Structure 1
Amino acid sequence: RRLPGYAASGKPLTPIPPTPGRSDQQPDHYLLDLQIRAYESLLRHAPPAYRLMLTCGDVYIEHNHWLPAFPEADVVMFGLEASAEEASHHGVMLCPTATPDVLHSFVQKPSPDTLRGLGQSFVYTLDTGIWLFSERAVMLLMEKCGWDSSAGAFPGEGPDTYDLFSTFGPALGTAPTVQDPDISALTCAVIPLSDARFYHFGTNRSLLASVRHLQEPAFEQRSFGHASFDPPFLPVIQHSSVEAKIRARHRHVWVENSALADSWTLSERHVLTGVPENNWTLSLAPGCCLDVAPVDDGNMCLRGYGFDDPFRGSISDPDTLWLERPAAEWFSRRGIDLSVAGIAPEADIQSAPLFPVLPPSDLDSSFVAWLLDPEPEDLPACRRRWLEGERLSARELLGRTSVSALLESRHAHLRADWAGLDEEAWLDRCMTHDLAAAAKLYTRDSIQPVALPDNGDKALELDHMHDRMWRAALSRPGDEDAAAQFESEAFGVLRHLLVHEMEQKPVLPSRNVLSDQIVWGRSPIRLDLAGGWTDTPPYCIEHGGQVVNLAVDLNGQPPIHVFGRISETPHVVLRSIDLGIDEVITTYEELSGYASLGSGFAIARAALALAGFEPRFHAGKAYPDLPTQLKEELGGGIELSMVCAIPKGSGLGTSSILAGTLLGTVSELCGLAWTRDDLFQRTMALEQMLTSGGGWQDQVGGITPGLKIVETHPGVLQAPLIRNLPVSWLEEPDHSSCMMLYYTGLTRVAHDILGEIVRGLFLNSTSRLSIIREIGTNACYVADAAQRACWPDFCEAIRRSWVLNQLLDGGTNPEPVQQVIDPVADYLSACKLLGAGGGGYMLMLAKDEGAARRIRRTLEEAPPNSRSRFVDLSISRTGFQVTRS
């Protein structure tokens, strides 16, 4: 009734324009896309006892905060903190201040004064319309709708009508306002959604208001689309060809799936949907709306209506509006008697046959203007056409509208829009749209890709990076060689952006030790608790990152060590004590061979390159060869010896922490005076040089001590902000005994996993980006639990980390890993593989000390393989250290 343009397809299929700040929008973006992502993020952490989620189709809840642990109840309602004025437009949950998660009563649209008067004894939250039901509650709801449990079916034609919000909801709570003993026997809890916003799309006015606030959020407001007046905003035009002049004074205008010729004249408060190609000369009065709906016989139905028409009441009632005037006035101004039109005076306007059906060829501007004008000309031919032709009511139009034809028309506009993009507009969309979905659109509709000019030696930016990966996706399947080339170019753009920053900060190494001194660098490893993947380029560059991790020593010692000294011979000697190999480097060419991940010393080579021993990173004069540079600047060569007492593929961030430790040791050896931030940034550049493409959390986690939350802002130069979290509570016996580190004996190469995930990031994959955003949000949950020293929430947050990691990458938890978990699952509060998953070390959080002993006994008595074992961990209070003899 109140959103006629989308009544037939359903309000969830209302197209929503692109939202600024989002990079994962579909080419055809619907309200349903927003709703599904929001509801999935709420539902995925709900305990399995909840069997059903109920939501409202004309509502969207934007929620960017972590959820508390779910309470145990038959019904859970999600609430929204709001002002008394905002809450007065909704159902409201009242909870006692002493037990704010237990429902006292559910009331519909209480006045602001009523809510303010309850402020001392109750907290109130606005009902979002999102409810979770246990099996017991589902069965009771079905019974209220007539379910016959003995027959296992609804009698007759189906379930009875039953109003959830006016009947079921008020009967819930400890003090229900509607008496129903069966419903009142259900337990009911409330989860307030912090930092959430409620958008309503149920009317023309609320549609425009909510879209406006999605694009320009008012942060102090929580509920949108219900105010009697919202400030005007620029017109919304989607899937349309508009030649008509639209000025700033044309407020509250929505044009979708339509063609407006330049002979149209607009004013304000218009919703125009489905208008076909035309040459009509129309002047629309304020508040005039038009929906042209394709019907099932190939004809078109013209539905004119008013912007705020409620479509409720009898035709003859002066309060019943059509085109924002009394409905009876429309008939009198056109000389039409209701009885001649076959309409009973008492007929509800929703059921009255008002809207003419015509072949597309018979649509003309004189008839359309006659239908819509508040003071129409007296045109007998138009009156006769309206009276004698087929007409449909709004109710009939719900069933007669050809939704497939409507979608086909919208898709034709969509195709024309994407096919008509120029270079600049295309590159803009590379930053705002799901390019995997765009590739499917181009392939399905044979759209010719935008040709981009050759930039020569000019550096490419992030938009070109996304473009290249899109072209790779477009080439598959069919041309794997072209796809591989485009993909290589995409990674090359990212690599250049990060490494170029270091090229702009060249260094001048110089000897900083005596002839007999050794520099000794050592680092702990990190346990990534939450937020991993948000630190990975290009995500962190475009969105910033949020990570919580913990620096730990293994078996009482930091496991990563680097020893450096100046030797007499001007060459580079690299030695791995744990691998039992060494290598001598005498040329720049040998040193720059770090891009091969198979080399045992790729990391050390790249670290020395960044320390000024590759010409592009050197700030001084040019040297003819490496030995000459070493002799003149250091008076000899460099010997680096490394120990990594950790198995390969551990998931503990070993490679990145070794890189940071090497850089820190070389900085001390060669007088570079790099700060901690320098080490972070140069390590990330180093990983791009190696083509492994890692983020910053590993080196930050190992170089800095203890438990911390690490955050960055968007930008190429990532500068982590580190906030230390309380850690002594984890060292208390009750908790330290329950925190166990187990080596699964399984390995998986993070380089391969990174490539898989990063491809999705380059393509702005909706599914990947939405999960990674939630992974970042969950890091804040871990940090909050640590600040409160709350072990149950700490465990719950880490459990969610494991769930989210598995959603992001199906290979995170292969069957051999699950076989490690299954025998001890009953004793665990949470567990997660560290790092990218698939193998390596697993963090286990036992339910209590007794459970920890049972876990250890079970896995020691029946280990999954010959390499698996428990490893003692202790929290590092120092992080990276460097000293000299």
Structure 2
Amino acid sequence: MNAWRAEALGGVQRARTSSGFDVRARAPLRLGLAGGGTDLSPYCDQFGGAVLNVTIDRFAFAHITPSADGAVSFRANDLGVQEHHELGARPRIDEGLSLHRAVYDHVVETYLDGAAPALNVSTTIDAPAGSGLGSSSALVVALVEAFRLALDLPLGPADVARLAFHIERRKLGLAGGRQDQYAAAFGGVNFIEFLPEDKVLVSPLRVPRAYLNEFESSLVICFTGQSRRSETIIKEQIDGLVGMNAETLESMHQLKADAALMREALLRGDMRDMAAILMRSWSAKKRTASGVATDTVDRLFDLAIAEGAWGGKVSGAGGGGFLMFFTDPENRHHLISTLNRAGGQASSVKVTFEGAEAWSVPR
């Protein structure tokens, strides 16, 4: 893949066509089991945050191919949106397909000395926008990973995660925490600590296979049908932290403690205890901001509990997106069917252990 970089740096304003290879990448989405919100600044900067998350068999995909017409195009296949830009036009990164634009812009400025290659950059995500599964961050990670391979950049998983965080949160100014980028970059079951001075510790959990089997067999996820914009919820949480709101701080401390307790419950294979921690975390999460729960979320949540779910909560900031529940594996089919009849989109889910991956394919 070095030739892509060499041609751009050499002033050839097109991607390499002689190589005969295109680049693809994927990054897994995640379920936030516990501690979500404690990865937000200023909480993690002052108190240190901790989350437990797990990547699942849903992915964000990115594809990079040379442009035949000497221009730059961005396409989100799942959204049906496409953009076409003349080479060197440098469109604003806060408009249109902003994630695609921002990653491309950063790569050109940082690694190609401003020499913009003519490329087609397309993406697809296995979940609706605003799903609460970290899909936007996984998309940025997949894009960064694709360019890492295309340009032969010396970036490991932590570097990819940091760069994705920088582009999404700082360059674009999009509200949110840090866990999504690290989950997507590393993959698997991880206890992640977010410490002052942007220090991040990723600790993969070695969960016995039998416990993982029970985890998967007990787990149900359900899309509420509501895609939510998390910015309002996150802003309210941040405002509460900046203002040292006592209820917000107490709730965040509880969420952080629950992450450590959830880790221990998973390592013991105790799904009932995990469900109880989910319930406690859900109560704490709702106290951090208004709008975390909605009428639809409450309706599906109450139905699931009535139909035998041991416990559950929303994945992500709330306001819609995906719910997750633990139930007796023998009750899982009934719970999924009941939620689907009630207007949800429920299914089983599997754990994945690979983080962001990129590969080349013959054209």
Is the TM-score greater than 0.5? Answer: yes
Select 1:814's aligned residue among 269, 275, 294. 294
* Match of residue 876 from structure 1: 352
CA–CA distance in structure 1, aligned partners of residues 356 and 85 of structure 2: 27
The Cα of 1:606 is off from its aligned counterpart by: 1.0
Give the 3-state SS of the residue equivalent to 2:32 in structure 1: strand
Tell me if structure 2 keeps the 8 A contact 1:684–1:694: no
Tell me if structure 2 keeps the 8 A contact 1:708–1:725: no
The Cα of 1:579 is off from its aligned counterpart by: 1.7
* Match of residue 39 from structure 2: 535
Give the 3-state SS of the residue equivalent to 2:146 in structure 1: helix
TM-superposition CA deviations, 1:241-266 (whole Å, max 9, x none): xxxxxxxxxxxxxxxxxxxxxxxxxx
Tell me if structure 1 keeps the 8 A contact 2:185–2:356: yes
What is the 5 A alignment of 1:46-85?
none
Tell me if structure 2 keeps the 8 A contact 1:683–1:696: no
* Match of residue 604 from structure 1: 100
CA–CA distance in structure 2, aligned partners of residues 797 and 729 of structure 1: 21
The Cα of 1:568 is off from its aligned counterpart by: 5.1
CA–CA distance in structure 2, aligned partners of residues 819 and 582 of structure 1: 37
* Match of residue 342 from structure 2: 863
Question: Relative to structure 1, is the Cα distance of residues 727 and 546 closer, same or farther in structure 2, using a 3 angstrom cutoff?
Answer: farther
The Cα of 1:834 is off from its aligned counterpart by: 0.7
2:336 counterpart letter in structure 1: R
1:515 counterpart letter in structure 2: S
* Match of residue 161 from structure 2: 680
CA–CA distance in structure 2, aligned partners of residues 723 and 735 of structure 1: 16
TM-superposition CA deviations, 1:764-811 (whole Å, max 9, x none): 323222221221111000111122222222222222221211121231
1:645 aligned to 2:126? Answer: yes
2:210 counterpart letter in structure 1: W
CA–CA distance in structure 1, aligned partners of residues 94 and 44 of structure 2: 23
CA–CA distance in structure 2, aligned partners of residues 595 and 727 of structure 1: 44
* Match of residue 660 from structure 1: 141
Select 2:268's aligned residue among 767, 788, 808. 788
1:746 counterpart letter in structure 2: Q
* Match of residue 24 from structure 2: 520
Question: Relative to structure 1, is the Cα distance of residues 588 and 762 closer, same or farther in structure 2, using a 3 angstrom cutoff?
Answer: farther
* Match of residue 183 from structure 2: 701
1:679 counterpart letter in structure 2: V
The Cα of 1:845 is off from its aligned counterpart by: 0.6
What is the 5 A alignment of 1:475-494?
none
The Cα of 1:879 is off from its aligned counterpart by: 2.1
What is the 5 A alignment of 1:712-723?
712-715=194-197, 717-723=198-204
Tell me if structure 2 keeps the 8 A contact 1:520–1:883: yes
Select 1:574's aligned residue among 74, 95, 98. 74
* Match of residue 277 from structure 2: 797
2:235 counterpart letter in structure 1: G
* Match of residue 766 from structure 1: 246
* Match of residue 234 from structure 1: none
* Match of residue 561 from structure 1: 61
CA–CA distance in structure 1, aligned partners of residues 72 and 211 of structure 2: 43
Note the aligned Cα RMSD (angstroms).
Answer: 2.3
TM-superposition CA deviations, 1:525-556 (whole Å, max 9, x none): 100001111112232233332110000004xx
What is the 5 A alignment of 1:372-383?
none
Tell me if structure 1 keeps the 8 A contact 2:279–2:312: yes
Select 1:689's aligned residue among 157, 162, 171. 171
Select 1:544's aligned residue among 38, 48, 51. 48
The Cα of 1:571 is off from its aligned counterpart by: 3.1
Tell me if structure 1 keeps the 8 A contact 2:158–2:185: no
* Match of residue 93 from structure 2: 594
CA–CA distance in structure 2, aligned partners of residues 577 and 701 of structure 1: 23
The Cα of 1:851 is off from its aligned counterpart by: 3.0
CA–CA distance in structure 1, aligned partners of residues 167 and 216 of structure 2: 35
CA–CA distance in structure 1, aligned partners of residues 176 and 240 of structure 2: 15
2:105 counterpart letter in structure 1: A
Specify every segment of 5 or more residues in structure 2 that has no aligned partner in the other structure, as ranges: 8-14
CA–CA distance in structure 2, aligned partners of residues 691 and 646 of structure 1: 23
What is the 5 A alignment of 1:79-98?
none
Tell me if structure 1 keeps the 8 A contact 2:187–2:355: yes
TM-superposition CA deviations, 1:115-153 (whole Å, max 9, x none): xxxxxxxxxxxxxxxxxxxxxxxxxxxxxxxxxxxxxxx
Question: Relative to structure 1, is the Cα distance of residues 730 and 639 closer, same or farther in structure 2, using a 3 angstrom cutoff?
Answer: farther
Give the 3-state SS of the residue equivalent to 1:590 in structure 2: coil
What is the 5 A alignment of 1:66-215?
none
The Cα of 1:510 is off from its aligned counterpart by: 4.4
Sequence identity percentage: 24
CA–CA distance in structure 2, aligned partners of residues 663 and 700 of structure 1: 13
1:690 counterpart letter in structure 2: L
TM-superposition CA deviations, 1:52-111 (whole Å, max 9, x none): xxxxxxxxxxxxxxxxxxxxxxxxxxxxxxxxxxxxxxxxxxxxxxxxxxxxxxxxxxxx
Question: Relative to structure 1, is the Cα distance of residues 806 and 570 closer, same or farther in structure 2, using a 3 angstrom cutoff?
Answer: same
Tell me if structure 2 keeps the 8 A contact 1:706–1:727: no
CA–CA distance in structure 1, aligned partners of residues 352 and 301 of structure 2: 27
Question: Relative to structure 1, is the Cα distance of residues 546 and 588 closer, same or farther in structure 2, using a 3 angstrom cutoff?
Answer: farther
Tell me if structure 1 keeps the 8 A contact 2:190–2:202: no
Give the 3-state SS of the residue equivalent to 2:255 in structure 1: helix
TM-superposition CA deviations, 1:474-497 (whole Å, max 9, x none): xxxxxxxxxxxxxxxxxxxxxxxx
Select 1:829's aligned residue among 287, 310, 331. 310
Would you tell me which structure has more strand in proportion to its own residues?
2
CA–CA distance in structure 2, aligned partners of residues 752 and 671 of structure 1: 38
The Cα of 1:708 is off from its aligned counterpart by: 1.2
The Cα of 1:576 is off from its aligned counterpart by: 1.6
Select 1:747's aligned residue among 201, 224, 227. 227
The Cα of 1:713 is off from its aligned counterpart by: 1.9
Give the 3-state SS of the residue equivalent to 2:253 in structure 1: helix
Give the 3-state SS of the residue equivalent to 2:326 in structure 1: strand
Tell me if structure 2 keeps the 8 A contact 1:578–1:643: yes
| TM-score for both structures, normalised by structure 1 | 0.38
Give the 3-state SS of the residue equivalent to 1:698 in structure 2: helix
Tell me if structure 1 keeps the 8 A contact 2:188–2:204: no
The Cα of 1:517 is off from its aligned counterpart by: 0.7
Tell me if structure 1 keeps the 8 A contact 2:219–2:348: no
The Cα of 1:755 is off from its aligned counterpart by: 1.7
* Match of residue 256 from structure 2: 776
Tell me if structure 2 keeps the 8 A contact 1:692–1:754: no
* Match of residue 419 from structure 1: none
Count of matched residue positions in the alignment of Structure 1 and Structure 2? 348
Larger Rg, first or second structure (1 or 2): 1
CA–CA distance in structure 2, aligned partners of residues 619 and 796 of structure 1: 51
1:578 counterpart letter in structure 2: D
Specify every segment of 5 or more residues in structure 1 that has no aligned partner in the other structure, as ranges: 1-507, 624-628, 631-635
Give the 3-state SS of the residue equivalent to 1:830 in structure 2: strand
2:352 counterpart letter in structure 1: S
Tell me if structure 1 keeps the 8 A contact 2:27–2:355: yes
CA–CA distance in structure 2, aligned partners of residues 689 and 833 of structure 1: 28
1:552 counterpart letter in structure 2: I
Tell me if structure 1 keeps the 8 A contact 2:248–2:288: yes
* Match of residue 710 from structure 1: 192
1:576 counterpart letter in structure 2: A
Question: Relative to structure 1, is the Cα distance of residues 518 and 747 closer, same or farther in structure 2, using a 3 angstrom cutoff?
Answer: same
CA–CA distance in structure 1, aligned partners of residues 47 and 5 of structure 2: 35
